[in-house]
Amino acid sequence: MDHETAIRTKSSERYAIGDLSSSERDEFEEHFSDCTQCMDDVSLASTFAANARAVFRERAHARPAPRSSFLHGLFARPLAAFAAIAFAGVIVYQNMVVIPETRAPRSAIASVRLDGETRAALPQVKAADALRVQMPFDWPAGSAKGSRERNGSGEPNGLAEPKVFVELMDTLGNPVSKGDVAAPGPNQPLELYFPVRLSPGRYTVVVRADKAGQEMARSAFEVTSLDARTP
């Protein structure tokens, strides 16, 4: 085989991909053993072929399986799986911990004074207003909690802050909001804020020493609709 024939028949490319017959291959090898240009061509074509094979192999392995599920694909990537689990954890935490916490009662500046069950006309709260209430409170005489956690000056003993359990219930006695709040000092009213929107109706606030403990105070109020505003 001479050089012109080798070029014309593109022997170097065909040699690199094994496309020559046995006799053609031997003839071409005999030629390029003496021809620097053809040997460079063979070397280049072989290098291209080997690297192209590697590129196609990598791409084939990198391509996702067509029938794999979303979860399979997700967990094939550890970083994405970790991010998804962390995101799901945040959502669960917000729904189970953060949001109920925001709905629990807490101390606040009173806006509506509740005088206990003795008042004839119930205090009224407008449906759109923030539910801030103030109600009388005192530890019952001989209360273990009151005597244990307060010293003679009325200041809390140690770091433990005395708490009471507060529950807001609707007309049927169903709890709307509940939780522990800090107990007020002696001769101080209990100030509460309920971060809930109430529909019109009668509601009752019950204060207990703890969740299943003795009832210490009870007051009722009425939520009026916006249309029922009094001048």
Partner 1 sequence: MEFHIFDADYVRRLAEGDPDTESHFSTYFERFIFLKLRSRRVAPEMIEDVRQETLLRVLKALRQGAGVTHPERFGSFVNSVSNNVLLELNQKNSKHAPMDDDTPEPFDNRVDLDAAIITEERKRMVAAVLDDLSVKDREILRLVFFEDIERTAICNRLNVDLDYLRVLLHRAKAKFQAAYVRKHSAVRHAANLIFMVILSNAGVLGLTILVRWN
Give the whole-angstrom CA distance, residue 184 versus residue 218: 16
For the chain, the C-alpha Rg in angstroms (whole number) is 41
Q: Which of residues 45-64 bind partner 1 (CB under 8 A)?
A: 45-58, 60
How many chain residues touch partner 1 (CB under 8 A)? 42
Question: Which residue number, 22 or 187, has a Cβ lying nearer to partner 1?
Answer: 22
Residues contacting residue 49 through CB under 8 Å, at least 6 positions apart: 16, 17
Q: Which of residues 60-99 bind partner 1 (CB under 8 A)?
A: 60
Smallest gap from Cβ 65 to partner 1, in A, equals 17
Q: Binding segment for partner 1 among 40-48, 83-91, 92-100, 139-147 (CB under 8 A)?
A: 40-48
Q: Binding segment for partner 1 among 42-50, 97-105, 151-159, 184-192 (CB under 8 A)?
A: 42-50
Of 1, 5, 10, 224, which lies in the binding site for partner 1, with binding defined by CB under 8 A? 10
Judged by CB under 8 A, does residue 1 bind partner 1?
A: no
Question: Which residue number, 60 or 141, has a Cβ lying nearer to partner 1?
Answer: 60
Of 22, 69, 118, 153, which lies in the binding site for partner 1, with binding defined by CB under 8 A? 22
Smallest gap from Cβ 74 to partner 1, in A, equals 27
Residue 14: CB atoms within 10 A of its CB come to 17
Smallest gap from Cβ 7 to partner 1, in A, equals 9
Question: Which residue number, 41 or 191, has a Cβ lying nearer to partner 1?
Answer: 41
- DSSP code of 184? P
- Cα distances (angstroms) measured from residue 2 to each of 6, 15, 75, 162, 174: 6, 15, 59, 104, 101
Residues contacting residue 6 through CB under 8 Å, at least 6 positions apart: 12, 28, 31, 32, 35, 38
Give the whole-angstrom CA distance, residue 24 versus residue 19: 9
Residues contacting residue 24 through CB under 8 Å, at least 6 positions apart: 1, 11, 14
- Cα distances (angstroms) measured from residue 38 to each of 8, 46, 68: 12, 12, 47
- Cα distances (angstroms) measured from residue 70 to each of 39, 83, 214: 50, 15, 54
Of 5, 37, 102, 147, which lies in the binding site for partner 1, with binding defined by CB under 8 A? 37
Judged by CB under 8 A, does residue 2 bind partner 1?
A: yes
Question: Which residue number, 57 or 103, has a Cβ lying nearer to partner 1?
Answer: 57
Q: Which of residues 135-154 bind partner 1 (CB under 8 A)?
A: none
DSSP helix/strand/coil, 224:
strand
- List interacting residues with partner 1 (CB under 8 A): 2-4, 10, 13-19, 22, 25, 29-30, 32-39, 41-58, 60
